[in-house]
């Protein structure tokens, strides 16, 4: 959707129309429902439109009209969620990730430099160094090309805005610019010579190797990232963090084995991700009732003396027991391949 939005923007620059404005607004609106970071492209679009689209007076009003139409369409699409009270609660929580005005006016240069360094490492490590060299080649050799300049604006503006205003940036924030990054690498291969041939072959070979390692052994891929500490730290969540899926399948198998002889109740915290969603998908057993820990007050009155013999269990994110440690007996911990995190299975008791 980010690439589509930019293609429509180029159409508006060259031949503005109400139809293109509608498509642009719809693309941004639909994209915002899935991933709100698509709005980081809006400043890039405005820069390109100002630089290339309204040079002549004849285009100024048609371009402005297209932008007004796109804005109206965008608001119409996102309005249903904007009127939801819960949405604004999420916005309030997410606002903590941004620098305050006081922090911005103090010019946190060191923080900005660290974030830029991390961003560079994420780009080089995840898209491979050869692709990075192709990008540099495309910028140097074809800088005067309109397409190259468009790609640069779509990459640099969102990254700079994120670095300046967001205090806790993650590699996932780069997903909106990565299509343009790869397109810029393709520009780097347009001029055929020995260098671009070698870089293209190296990029293809390295992507095949990296993808194979990632599929076969994610922990090994994690170890290979040690030369890019920011990338390795980011990738840790997938092999060592509580969000990783490691241990969830073993916890599900363990509970399924218990359920062979008794009906059981399995509690998880009220959250999404692992192990909560994983347990619900993997434990497909009529003897197992899976519910949230927040439903405990509803369950306990129904859990009579006969029912207690059936057993109630809790699947945890590591040591996060929601303050109910005195009521849980630890049974087993399924560790992650990296780090100290684990998926725990505990038995609930009332004695």
Segment 20-43, tens digit of pLDDT: 888 888 888 888 887 777 888 888
Q: Average pLDDT in the 279-301 region?
A: 80
Structure tokens at 216: 């076969």
Q: Is the pLDDT confidence value at 308 over 70?
A: no
How many whole angstroms separate alpha carbon 253 and alpha carbon 242? Answer: 18
Residue 305 tokens, joined: 């003396």
Residue 239 parent element (H or E): helix 229-239
Least trusted range by pLDDT, from 10-14, 177-181, 307-311, 332-336: 307-311
Distances (CA, A) of 9 to 31, 41, 119, 271: 15, 10, 26, 39
Residue 180 CB burial class (10 angstroms; 0-12, 13-18, ≥19): buried
Beta bridge partners of 200: none
The CA distance from 255 to 310, in Å, is: 12
In angstroms, the CA 155 to CA 159 distance is: 6
Q: Burial-class residue 250 by CB neighbours within 10 Å (0-12, 13-18, 19+).
A: middle
CA 327 to the chain's CA centroid: 36
Is-contact 313 346, C-beta < 8 A? yes
pLDDT at 129 over 60: yes
Residue 140: which of 208, 179, 193 has the closest Cα? 193
Residue with tokens 């087993």: 332
Share of the chain above pLDDT 90, in %: 2
Confidence of residue 224 (pLDDT cuts 50, 70, 90): confident
**pLDDT class of 250 with cuts at 50, 70, 90:** very high
The region that residue 191 occupies, defined by phi over 0 for left and psi between -120 and 50 for alpha, beta otherwise, is beta
Q: Which two tokens stand for residue 174?
A: 């780069």
Q: Which residue has the tokens 């969000």?
A: 243
Q: Are 66 and 20 in contact (CB under 8 A)?
A: yes
pLDDT in tens, 85-98: 777 777 777 777 77
Quick one: angle between helices 109-127 and 178-188, nearest 10?
60
- Does 165 have pLDDT greater than 80? yes
- pLDDT of 304 reads 57
For residue 71, give both structure tokens: 């804005």
pLDDT digits (tens, 9 = 90+) for 319-339: 888 777 888 888 999 988 888
The verdict on whether omega for the bond into residue 308 sits within 30 degrees of 0, i.e. cis, is: no
Mean pLDDT of the chain: 82
Burial of 207 (0-12, 13-18, 19+ CB in 10 A): middle
State the pLDDT at residue 306. 47
Tens digits of per-residue pLDDT, 198-214?
777 777 787 788 888 88
**pLDDT tops 70 at residue 307:** no
Look at strands 328-335 and 342-348 and give their pairing.
antiparallel
The count of other CB atoms within 10 Å of the CB of residue 309 is 9
> Is the distance from CB of 295 to CB of 270 less than 8 angstroms?
no
Q: Is the pLDDT of residue 316 over 70?
A: yes
Q: Give me the long-range contacts of 228-235 (CB less than 8 A, separation at least 24).
A: 228/121, 228/124, 228/125, 229/121, 230/117, 230/118, 230/121, 230/122, 231/121, 231/122, 231/124, 231/125, 231/126, 231/171, 234/118, 234/122, 234/170, 234/171
pLDDT above 60 (res 305):
no
166 to 149, 169, 214: CA distances (angstroms) = 25, 6, 29
Q: Give the residue with greater pLDDT, 336 vs 146.
A: 336
- pTM of the shown model: 0.71
């Amino acid at each position: 959707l980010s690439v589509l939005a930019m293609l429509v923007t180029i159409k508006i620059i060259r031949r503005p129309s109400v139809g293109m404005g509608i498509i642009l607004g719809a693309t941004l609106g639909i994209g915002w429902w899935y991933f709100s970071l698509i709005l980081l492209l809006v400043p890039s679009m405005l820069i390109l439109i100002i630089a290339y689209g309204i040079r002549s007076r004849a285009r100024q009003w048609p371009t402005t009209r297209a932008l007004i139409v796109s804005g109206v369409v965008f608001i119409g699409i996102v309005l249903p969620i904007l009127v939801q009270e819960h949405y604004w609660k999420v916005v309030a929580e997410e606002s903590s990730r941004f620098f305050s005005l006081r922090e911005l006016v103090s010019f946190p240069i060191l923080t900005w430099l660290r974030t830029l360094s991390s961003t560079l490492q994420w780009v080089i490590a995840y898209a491979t160094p050869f692709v990075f060299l192709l990008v540099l080649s495309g910028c140097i050799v074809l800088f005067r090309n309109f397409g190259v300049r468009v790609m640069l604006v779509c990459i640099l503006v969102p990254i700079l805005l994120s670095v300046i205003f967001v205090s806790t940036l993650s590699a996932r924030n780069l997903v909106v610019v990565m299509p343009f990054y790869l397109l810029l690498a393709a520009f780097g291969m347009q001029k055929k010579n020995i260098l671009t041939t070698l870089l293209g072959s190296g990029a293809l070979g390295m992507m095949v190797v990296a993808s194979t390692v990632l599929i076969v052994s994610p922990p090994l891929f994690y170890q290979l990232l040690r030369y890019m500490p920011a990338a390795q730290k980011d990738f840790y969540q997938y092999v060592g963090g509580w969000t990783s899926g490691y241990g969830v399948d073993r916890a599900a198998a363990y509970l399924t084995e218990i359920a062979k002889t008794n009906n059981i109740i399995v509690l998880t915290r009220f959250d999404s991700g692992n192990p909560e969603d994983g347990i619900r998908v993997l434990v497909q057993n009529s003897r197992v009732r899976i519910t949230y820990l927040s439903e405990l007050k509803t369950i306990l009155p129904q859990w009579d003396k006969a029912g207690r013999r059936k057993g109630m269990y809790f699947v945890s994110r590591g040591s996060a027991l929601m303050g109910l440690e005195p009521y849980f007996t630890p049974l087993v911990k399924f560790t992650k391949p990296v780090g100290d995190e684990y998926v725990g299975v505990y038995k609930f008791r009332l004695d």
